[in-house]
Amino acid sequence: MTASTRRQFLRSAAAAAAASQLPLQQAVAAPARSRRAATGARVSERAWRELERRLRGRVLRPGEAGYARASLPFNRRYADTTPAGIARCTGEDDVREAVVWAREHDVPLAARSGGHSYAGYSTTRGLLIDLGAMRSVRVDDEAGTVLAQAGARNTGLYAALQPYDVAISAGRCPTVGIGGLALGGGFGFSSRALGLTRDSLVETRLVTASGRILRITRDRHPDLFWALRGGGGGNFGISTQFRFRTSPVSSVGLYDLTWDAEHAPKVMLALETMMRDAPHTLSCRMGMGSNGRDAPTVTALGQLFGPVAQLRELLAPVLAVARPRRSLIARRTFWQAKDHFFHNTPVDRFAVKSSFVEGPLTEQALDVIARGVRRYPGSTNADGGGVALYAWGGRIGRVPAGATAFVHRHASWLMAYDASWTARDSRSTVARNLDWLGGFAEELRPHVSGSAYQNFIDRSQRDWRRAYYGSNFERLAAVKRRVDPDDLFSFRQGV
């Protein structure tokens, strides 16, 4: 077969298979991928033009208008990994054509929805398959569902839901993509009450390595339905859209409290005690942060799906420990609270590590946190460094660990520690930030479990297979072997 007839064959095979029920790997009869092509640099200009012809969306190449901006990941730490080309997909067919083309030309690929991967995994030197323009969100009020394309952002999702006063649990960063958020779990201030983002998933569509498009539900491709609920982005194919079950929401009691750091361990211990017996309708994020110059602060932020009087009662023992420097406890609509929680992280460079805590957070652990944050060396990034602790449990913990790919069901807290800097900082400042983060993680190790959150993916995570997927890893690997035996969707910490 000549190259061009082979390409035609591959295209028509992919199209035919999309509508058929062929076994997952039979659609595109491409050879196993060679590992030769580490970049897309060897691909001919003709081939790139052909990709352009196949897509309804644009293909951006280095130097073209829009390329530089479109290639940038949210975490600028990984901005040096630039793609040979960017497929700006306008719909599912574009995604499929891009996957088939990349496979056919042996070009490495990465999918991007919102581009917020902590570890920069939606970057590649090959073909970046960008779903960022696929952002439509449609609510079906009668069915009690919302259909979001993978490139929709938290902000677009909430905006579509608000007129109906229904919600799903989603994140607090306005620009995080639903694609990455849902595939790795997805938590926010409603998760103890409503479950994780992925817990309300009822259907998704996936473009596989072979170019098939699968509709995936509990009954259709149940193994993939299991794997895509917590198995992490970038592993099994490219999800183009997600249908979630919605829940009605109305008003909440909101709290936002700030104390001086001298109260840190005592206040945090009181918050930990409060959350131990709290109703699942109460959420809590406690944090301690520093910019390396001013005195650190301790914060507590959350909401209660319930009356403010009940919220005050729940918070009373915490407020009795120390008087906050700033305090807001008030009734808000769900949507006002969501706006209050929205946090625009500066778009720059950062590193994040995470650990789940099982059992109570001890006084010693909180002491390590308080001392560690005080040692933060500082940088020119306004976000500085620190620790955030998100209360787990509630509805999150009501799903058995093996029922979906998201194994972290029985934790009490998710702990995230981060350091940030900017391009203006010297190498030694960056090194000091990373040393601080690594040292902090080591000090905390005796106080946390070995598990970590796959959506806070960290290139230096020890034993990441166990940390992110625990006892679910083997089953995930088996699904992966079946759906993508040639490892087309591959990255450093890919299943």
| Interaction site with ligand FAD (CB under 6 A) | 74, 110-118, 121-122, 131, 150, 171-173, 176-177, 179-181, 183-188, 233-234, 238-239, 345, 455
Phi, psi dihedrals of residue 300, rounded to the nearest 5° = -135, 130
Residue with token string 């914060």: 299
Q: Which is nearer to ligand FAD, 146 or 370 (CB)?
A: 146
Q: Which is nearer to ligand FAD, 211 or 265 (CB)?
A: 211
First-last CA distance in the chain: 34
3-state secondary structure labels for all residues of the chain? CCHHHHHHHHHHHHHHHHHCCCCCCCCCCCCCCCCCCCCCCCCCHHHHHHHHHHCCCCEECCCCCCHHHHHCCCCHHHCCCCCCEEEECCCHHHHHHHHHHHHHCCCCEEEECCCCCCCCCCCCCCEEEECCCCCCEEEECCCCEEEEECCCEHHHHHHHHHHHCEECCCCCCCCCEHHHHHHHCCCCCCHHHHCCHHHHEEEEEEECCCCCEEEECCCCCHHHHHHCCCCCCCCCCEEEEEEEECEECCEEEEEEEEEEHHHHHHHHHHHHHHHHCCCCCECCEEEEEECCCCCCEEEEEEEECCCHHHHHHHHHHHHHHCCCCEEEEEEEEHHHHHHHHCCCCCCCEEEEEEEEECCCCCHHHHHHHHHHHHCCCCCCCCCCEEEEEEECCHHHHHCCCCCCCCCCCCCCEEEEEEEEECCCCCHHHHHHHHHHHHHHHHHHHHHCCCCCCHHHCCCCCCCHHHHHHHHHHHHHHHHHHHHCCCCCCCCCCCC
Q: How many CA atoms lie within 13 A of 109 on its CB side?
A: 31
- Adjacency order of strands within the sheet including 213-216: 137-140, 145-149, 238-245, 201-207, 213-216
Phi, psi dihedrals of residue 48, rounded to the nearest 5° = -65, -40
CB 185, min distance to ligand FAD, A: 6
Query: Distance (Å, rounded) from C-alpha 442 to C-alpha 459?
Result: 16
Q: Angle formed by the axes of helices 264-276 and 363-374, to 10°?
A: 140
Query: Distance (Å, rounded) from C-alpha 369 to C-alpha 334?
Result: 31
Query: Distance (Å, rounded) from C-alpha 415 to C-alpha 417?
Result: 7
